[in-house]
C-alpha cells in the first residue's frame, strides 16, 4: 500500500470509495439548508422584508468569521434585490463581543426594522428582548454554544441547537450513520458563522431571484477564509467549502482579497489553507485587535481597486504594529510565568496590556510552558483577559467554577474569555489551579506531542510524496498535515538563525540521504549536537528560495538523543 493510502486508512478512510470522496470533495454533496433549525422562519421573514424593502442591519463580529459573514450577506442580499442594507461591526474596546443593549438602542435610531446577526446572538436573551421592545425583529445566525431556551428572535439558526436536542444522534458533531433522524435534521454541526450565513443564502436562492443556483460558488472565497481562520473541523461540508473556496480565491473577483494577497506575498495560484491562517488572517484580525475591524470589512467590500489596496496596506502596517506590541507583552508575561513554575495553570496580568492581543500571547505561553494559560489586562478596577488550553482541561469550565469572584466569562474548552474585578486576580489564580488539581489529570503535556501518521525512511521523501500529500489539503482540525517519523537519524550539522538564535536548522542523514529540517522558536532540546542520533517527527514541506525548489522537513519533535 502506498504511503498516502496508508495515511488515509489510518484516518478512517478504509475503502476506495471513501478515499475518493475525501480526495475529490463533491460540491453537490452539500446538505439541505432547510434541515437547520428555524431556516424556514428566517426565509419567510426575509421575503417579507424584501417585499416591503425594510431597513436591515447586519450585525457582525470583529473577527474574521464575523467579517466574512457580514461581507457575504451584504453581497448576497444586494443581488437578491434588498435595497436598504446596513452593517454594524462592534468595537472590541467599546461594545465588546456580541449584541449589546447600547448597540441595539443606537441601531433603533436608524429606523432599522430587522437585525440579522452573524457569528453571534445565541445567548443574547435580554438584548433581543430589548430589540423587540423597540419594534425590531431579529434573525440570529450563529454557531456558538446555545441556551436551553432560545432567545425571542424570529429565528435562531444555529447547528449546535441540534446537539442539545438530539445528543445521542451525534458523535464528533456529525450525525451517526444509524441515526433515525437521518434526512430530518442537519447532519454536520461544526459549521463556522460564515458557513451558517452561506446556508441562509442557499435557502434564499430557492425562494428569491437575483442569485441563480451555481452563482453562489463565487461566495466561497469568503467562506473558505472565515472557515479556516475560525479553526473549525475541516471535514464534511467545511472541507467541501474550503476545497472549492481556495479555487475561487485563486481567481477571486474581490479587489480587497486580491490586494490582501498582494501585500501578504501570497501568489493567488498557490493559495492554500496555510496562506489563509498565517498570512491573510492575521492581517485582517489586526484591525479589530488594535482599533476597529471596520477597516477590514471596508477592504473586503471595496468596489475600487485603489481603495482596496490602501486598506490592505493599512492592515499590513497594523499587523506589524500588532506583532511588535505582542512581542513586548509576551516577554513581560514570560517574566511572570517563570515565577509561577509550581502552578499547573498560568495566570499572568499587567496594567493596560492590549486585550485584543492577550489571546495570542496566551497561545504562545501555552506553547512555551505546556500549561493552560490565562492572560489578563488590568484596566483600573476591571480586568479582562483571554485563555487557551489543551488536552482535558477546559478553561471555560474553570471560569464557570469561579462565578462568585468574576464579573462574566465563558467560551469553549480550549479558548475562553473572562472579566473580573482587578482585586480578585490572585483569588482567580488560586481558584483555577484548585480546579485543575481537583480534576487529577495525568500526562497532559504528552497530548501536545506530535504523533506520527507513518514511519518512513528518507528515501521515501520524494517530490511524488509531496504532491500526494498536497491532495489531502486543506489541512486543519481533524485533517492535520501528515506527520512522518524517522528513527535513528544522524545529525550531521546544525545552524541557528534569528535575532536571538531561536530558530534551528538540522542537517540529518538516513540511509545515506540527507534532509534539512527546520524549527522556528525551537525548544532547547532541538539544538542537537552534530554526531548525535535521534528519532524525529516532521512535516514535509517544499521550500522555494531564489528560484530553486527543495524538499525539507518542518521539525515537530525530537526524542532519543544518543551521542555516537
Task: State pLDDT tens for residues 382-417.
Answer: 999 999 999 999 999 999 999 999 998 887 788 889
* CATH 3.10.310.30 holds for 339-447: yes
Task: State pLDDT tens for residues 191-217.
Answer: 999 999 999 999 999 999 999 999 999
Reduced to 3 states (helix: H, G, I; strand: E, B; else coil), residue 158 is coil
Give the pLDDT score at 145.
83
**Cβ neighbours of residue 272 closer than 8 Å, sequence gap 6 or more:** 246, 473, 474
* CATH 3.40.190.10 holds for 454-563: no
Give the pLDDT score at 561.
62
Those residues of the chain that have pLDDT short of 50 are 564
Give the pLDDT score at 93.
79
Give the pLDDT score at 495.
95
E-state strands within 89-242: 114-118, 137-141, 155-157, 170-171, 174-175
Q: How far is CA 497 from CA 199, 500, 503, 524, 541, in A?
A: 47, 8, 5, 14, 19
Give the pLDDT score at 132.
97
* CATH 3.60.20.10 holds for 30-213: no
Reduced to 3 states (helix: H, G, I; strand: E, B; else coil), residue 253 is coil
- Tell me 329's DSSP state: H
Task: State pLDDT tens for residues 81-107.
Answer: 999 999 999 988 777 778 999 999 999
Query: Do 485 and 433 touch, CB atoms closer than 8 A?
Result: no
Q: What is the model's pTM?
A: 0.90
219 by Cβ neighbours in 10 Å (0-12 / 13-18 / 19+) ranks as buried
CATH 2.40.50.460 domain position(s) in the chain: 454-563
Give the pLDDT score at 502.
87
CATH 3.10.310.30 domain position(s) in the chain: 339-447
Give the pLDDT score at 564.
44
CATH 3.90.1640.30 domain position(s) in the chain: 30-213
Reference 559, options 529, 531, 530, 526; nearest CA is 526
Reduced to 3 states (helix: H, G, I; strand: E, B; else coil), residue 553 is strand
- Quote the CA–CA distance of 226 and 237 in Å, as a whole number: 14
Give the pLDDT score at 434.
97
Reduced to 3 states (helix: H, G, I; strand: E, B; else coil), residue 529 is coil
Q: Which three cell numbers stand for residue 168?
A: 445521542
- Quote the CA–CA distance of 363 and 301 in Å, as a whole number: 31
Amino acid at each position: 500500500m502506498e504511503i498516502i493510502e496508508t495515511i488515509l486508512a489510518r484516518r478512517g478512510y478504509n475503502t476506495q470509495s471513501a478515499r475518493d470522496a475525501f480526495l475529490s470533495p463533491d460540491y453537490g454533496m452539500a446538505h439541505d439548508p432547510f434541515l437547520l433549525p428555524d431556516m424556514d422562519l428566517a426565509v419567510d421573514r426575509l421575503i417579507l422584508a424584501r417585499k416591503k424593502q425594510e431597513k436591515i442591519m447586519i450585525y457582525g463580529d470583529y473577527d474574521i468569521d464575523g467579517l466574512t459573514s457580514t461581507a457575504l450577506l451584504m453581497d448576497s442580499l444586494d443581488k437578491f434585490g434588498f435595497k436598504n442594507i446596513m452593517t454594524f461591526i462592534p468595537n472590541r474596546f467599546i461594545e465588546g463581543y456580541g449584541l449589546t443593549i447600547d448597540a441595539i438602542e443606537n441601531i433603533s435610531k436608524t429606523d432599522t426594522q430587522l437585525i440579522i446577526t452573524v457569528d453571534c446572538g445565541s445567548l443574547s436573551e435580554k438584548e433581543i428582548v430589548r430589540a423587540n421592545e423597540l419594534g425590531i425583529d431579529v434573525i440570529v445566525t450563529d454557531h456558538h454554544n446555545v441556551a436551553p431556551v432560545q432567545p425571542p428572535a424570529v429565528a435562531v439558526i444555529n447547528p449546535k441547537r441540534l446537539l442539545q436536542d438530539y445528543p445521542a444522534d451525534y458523535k464528533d458533531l456529525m450525525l451517526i450513520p444509524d441515526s433515525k433522524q437521518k434526512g430530518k435534521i442537519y447532519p454536520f454541526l461544526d459549521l463556522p458563522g460564515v458557513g451558517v450565513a452561506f446556508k441562509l443564502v442557499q435557502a434564499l436562492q430557492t425562494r428569491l431571484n437575483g442569485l441563480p443556483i451555481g452563482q453562489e460558488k463565487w461566495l466561497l472565497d469568503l467562506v473558505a477564509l472565515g472557515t479556516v481562520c475560525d479553526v473549525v473541523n475541516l471535514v464534511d461540508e467545511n472541507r467541501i467549502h474550503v476545497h472549492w473556496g481556495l479555487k475561487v480565491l485563486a481567481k477571486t473577483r474581490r479587489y480587497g482579497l486580491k490586494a490582501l494577497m498582494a501585500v501578504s506575498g501570497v501568489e493567488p495560484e498557490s493559495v492554500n489553507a496555510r496562506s489563509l491562517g498565517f498570512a491573510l488572517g492575521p492581517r485582517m484580525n489586526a484591525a479589530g485587535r488594535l482599533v476597529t475591524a471596520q477597516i477590514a470589512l471596508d477592504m473586503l467590500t471595496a468596489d475600487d481597486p485603489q481603495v482596496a489596496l490602501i486598506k490592505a496596506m493599512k492592515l499590513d502596517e497594523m499587523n506589524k504594529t500588532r506583532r511588535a506590541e505582542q512581542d513586548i507583552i509576551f516577554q513581560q508575561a514570560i517574566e511572570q510565568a517563570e515565577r509561577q513554575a509550581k502552578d499547573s495553570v498560568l495566570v499572568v496580568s499587567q496594567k493596560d496590556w492590549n486585550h485584543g492581543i492577550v489571546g495570542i500571547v496566551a497561545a504562545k505561553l501555552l506553547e512555551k510552558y505546556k500549561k493552560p494559560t490565562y492572560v489578563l489586562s488590568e484596566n483600573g478596577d476591571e480586568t479582562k483577559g483571554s485563555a487557551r488550553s489543551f488536552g482535558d482541561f477546559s478553561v471555560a469550565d474553570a471560569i464557570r467554577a469561579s462565578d462568585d469572584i468574576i464579573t462574566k466569562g465563558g467560551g469553549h474548552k480550549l479558548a475562553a474569555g473572562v472579566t473580573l474585578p482587578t482585586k480578585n486576580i490572585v483569588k482567580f489564580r488560586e481558584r483555577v489551579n484548585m480546579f485543575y488539581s481537583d480534576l487529577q489529570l495525568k500526562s497532559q503535556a504528552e497530548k501536545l506531542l506530535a504523533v506520527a501518521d507513518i514511519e518512513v525512511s528518507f528515501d521515501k521523501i520524494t517530490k511524488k510524496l509531496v504532491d500526494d500529500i498536497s491532495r489531502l489539503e486543506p489541512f486543519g482540525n481533524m485533517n492535520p498535515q501528515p506527520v512522518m517519523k524517522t528513527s535513528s537519524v544522524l545529525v550531521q550539522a546544525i545552524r541557528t538563525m534569528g535575532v536571538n538564535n531561536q530558530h534551528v536548522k538540522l542537517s540529518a542523514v538516513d540511509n545515506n540521504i540527507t534532509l534539512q529540517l527546520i524549527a522556528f522558536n525551537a525548544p532547547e532540546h532541538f539544538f542537537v549536537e552534530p554526531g548525535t542520533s535521534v528519532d524525529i517527527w516532521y512535516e514535509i514541506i517544499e521550500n522555494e528560495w531564489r528560484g530553486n525548489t527543495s524538499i525539507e522537513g518542518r521539525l515537530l519533535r525530537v526524542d532519543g538523543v544518543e551521542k555516537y
